Amino acid sequence: MEYIEINPQIELFINRHSTPNWIIEDATTDFIDLTYIFKGRAYYSINGTVYEVNQGDLICIPKGSRRSATTDPTNLMTSYALNIHLYDLKGRDIRLPFPFISHIGEQEELQSLYNELTFEWLKKNEGYELKARALLLLILHYYFKSLYYKGNNLNIDKRIQRAIRYVLSNLQKQIEVEELASISGLTTAYFGTLFKKNMGTSVKEYINRMKINNAENILLSGEFTVQEAAYKCGFEDIYYFSKLFKKIKGFPPSRLLLHNSRSDRQELNIINK
């Protein structure tokens, strides 16, 4: 399953600060319990098995599970608890592909998302449900990146992140490795080594792939020629651009123009009927 077309609904969201006597009574859930442990320790019983959970752990209890919980009175738990329903576009229940217990660690991005969700949920301004659902999707995407999607690295070096942001903001320009190394505060040689370690590809390969992906988007709009798309992505040599595009995508950029042309003709035929 791709988990792309999902519709989440929040039944309950709480930033839980447990007391020494805090307890979740034993019962069967009619929702998905998605709880992130921000601090402390707790003990969750899921379908008869007790799990110790600590700071940085994610608890994912499927709908229909037997659940109870207590906290460690000497190390009180603070958590973000979401009771949610997850459906596909046909309204059928979706089960998250996560273990009962996973260690996510302490991540600034995740903390920021939960803080914003707390703000929206408590403020309850008009339309807050839509914003809350959008934030839940971002939180779910974060967990999918960490636990499900392959090839994702949540711990990219901040210097490499800085370089990536620069690349994605300047795809229309010629971008040199030396320039990125300088932005990152590293020597060119070390930057190249660190980049490949973090991203699994060379700097040049990454830049080219992002430029070609951008060119593909430009051509799919149907508003530009191949030459214009090449120039907009920093390529002055149209022949090199076409060769690189085919190498990365497996087909020439002109195919996208042909596709758009056919789509336009089909649309005109529908309108004229």
Superfamily of 6-147 according to CATH: Regulatory protein AraC (2.60.120.280)
Written as one letter, the residue type at 193 is T
Helix (H, G, I), strand (E, B) or coil at 127: coil
Q: Residues 162-204: pLDDT tens digits?
A: 999 999 999 999 999 999 999 999 999 999 999 998 888 999 9
pLDDT at 269: 43
pLDDT at 251 over 90: yes
Written as one letter, the residue type at 261 is S
User: Taking the domains of the chain in order of start, what are their residue ranges?
Assistant: 6-147, 158-260
In Å, how far from its chain's centre is CA 222?
Answer: 28
CA 38 – CA 55 distance, rounded (Å):
5
CA 116 – CA 80 distance, rounded (Å):
12
Q: Output the DSSP codes for 192-209.
A: HHHHHHHHSS-HHHHHHH
**Cβ 20 vs Cβ 64: under 8 Å:** no
Cβ of 264: how many Cβ atoms within 10 Å? 11
pLDDT at 259: 64
CA 123 – CA 240 distance, rounded (Å):
54
**Cβ 168 vs Cβ 210: under 8 Å:** yes
3-state SS track over 1-24 = CCCCCEEEEEEEEEEEECCCCCEE
pLDDT at 195: 93
pLDDT at 140: 95
Q: Residues 7-37: pLDDT tens digits?
A: 999 999 999 999 999 999 999 999 999 999 9
In this prediction, residue 76 has a pLDDT band, given cuts at 50, 70 and 90, of very high
* CATH label, 158-260, candidates 3.10.20.30, 1.10.10.60, 3.40.640.10, 2.60.200.20: 1.10.10.60
CA 165 – CA 142 distance, rounded (Å):
19
CA 150 – CA 145 distance, rounded (Å):
8
CA 266 – CA 81 distance, rounded (Å):
49
Percentage above 90 pLDDT, the chain: 77
Q: Residues 84-111: pLDDT tens digits?
A: 999 988 889 999 999 999 999 888 889 9
Cβ of 50: how many Cβ atoms within 10 Å? 11
Q: Residues 203-242: pLDDT tens digits?
A: 999 999 999 999 999 998 888 999 999 999 999 999 999 9
